[in-house]
Amino acid sequence: MSDPHPIDPRLEQAGASDESLLAAHEQMLGRKPEDDAHYRKLPLVLLFVFSGLIFYAGTYLNHFSGRYDGATFNENGAPGQAGGATAPVDPLVQGKKNYDQVCITCHQATGLGIPGVYPPLAGSEWVLGSEERLVRIVLHGLKGPVKVKGVEYGAAAMPVFGKVAGSGYNWSDEKIASVLTYVRQSFGNSASAITPAQVSAIHAKEADRKEWTQDELLRLP
């Protein structure tokens, strides 16, 4: 303080006018670094401090973010652990979901197909009969003429669904088992369920191959 007199707390005086206060600070912002005779250490120190804080922040975020998962409540828990126990999936529910997404376009919601174009699933001897043949049809597809309930179909091919070469769907064996179970137990059908193990066994035996034909399938049990 330049004022040698004691300050009266009842009436404190300003040390600078508003105009000069504004002007002085404006001048400080416009000042170039080389205007200073001496080198300023503070900017460098602050830069290091800020960089250090940001580095720390990034590391901390990386460790404890829980991958920004809304269901992760423990910052140390790996993602996915937070879900807890998983309930077994009902194959009929999963099968219907998959059927409604894909199969329904040809075989229809009724399972009756479209006469003359897409064969029916309801009451079909292929669906209710040999499980060996049925699994193969979905795994690798079916091409060429096929006779269902006494009617000849051949205009459309059954696509390849399994996780095999040339598949457009890559459905897991479990998924195929559930959709087949659904088909065998819906639309008035009531046949036994297909297990994922059955599908896996056939998948392992046949591996990759081209679409089946009716004749090839009829040679199987």
Partner 1 sequence: MTTASSAAPSAEVTAIDASARCPLLLLLGAALLWLVVSGALALLNLLQLSTPSLAADCAVMTFGRTAAMQQTAFLYGWAANAGLAVVLWLLGRLGGSPLRSLNWTVAGALFWNLSVALSLVGIGTGDGASHAWLHLPAYVQPLMLVAYAAMVVPGVLAWTGRRQPMMFAAQWYAVAALVLFPWIFSGAQLMLSFAPERGVLQALVAGWFGQGAWSLWLAPLALAAAYYLVPKVGGRAIPSYDFAILSFWTLIFVGSWTGGRHLIGGPVPAWTITVAGVACVLLLFHYIVVGINLRGAFACGGSTVLRFIALGLGAYLLGGLGDALTAFRGVAVVTQFTHLATAQSQLALTGAFSLTIFGAIYFMVPRLTGQAWPSGSLIRGHFFAALLGTLILIGALAVAGWIQGQDLNNATVSFAAIAAHTQPWLLIAAAGQAVLVVGNGLLLVHLVRAIACRWLKPAPAIFPEAPTMEVSRS
In the bound complex, what is the minimum distance in angstroms from residue 80's beta carbon to partner 1?
13
Amino acid at position 30, single letter: G
Separation in Å, CA 176 to CA 4, 125, 163, 220? 94, 19, 10, 20
Angstrom distance (rounded) from CA 4 to CA 67:
63
In the bound complex, what is the minimum distance in angstroms from residue 47's beta carbon to partner 1?
10
Q: Are 113 and 106 in contact (CB under 8 A)?
A: yes
Q: Which residue has the tokens 């001048």?
A: 27
54 versus 151: smaller Cβ distance to partner 1: 54
Angstrom distance (rounded) from CA 150 to CA 51:
79
40 versus 219: smaller Cβ distance to partner 1: 40
25 versus 149: smaller Cβ distance to partner 1: 25
In the bound complex, what is the minimum distance in angstroms from residue 12's beta carbon to partner 1?
5
56 versus 213: smaller Cβ distance to partner 1: 56
Q: Are 206 and 217 in contact (CB under 8 A)?
A: no
In the bound complex, what is the minimum distance in angstroms from residue 83's beta carbon to partner 1?
14
**Contacts with partner 1, residue ranges (CB under 8 A):** 1-2, 6-29, 31, 36, 42-43, 46, 49-50, 53-54, 56-57, 60-61, 64-75, 77
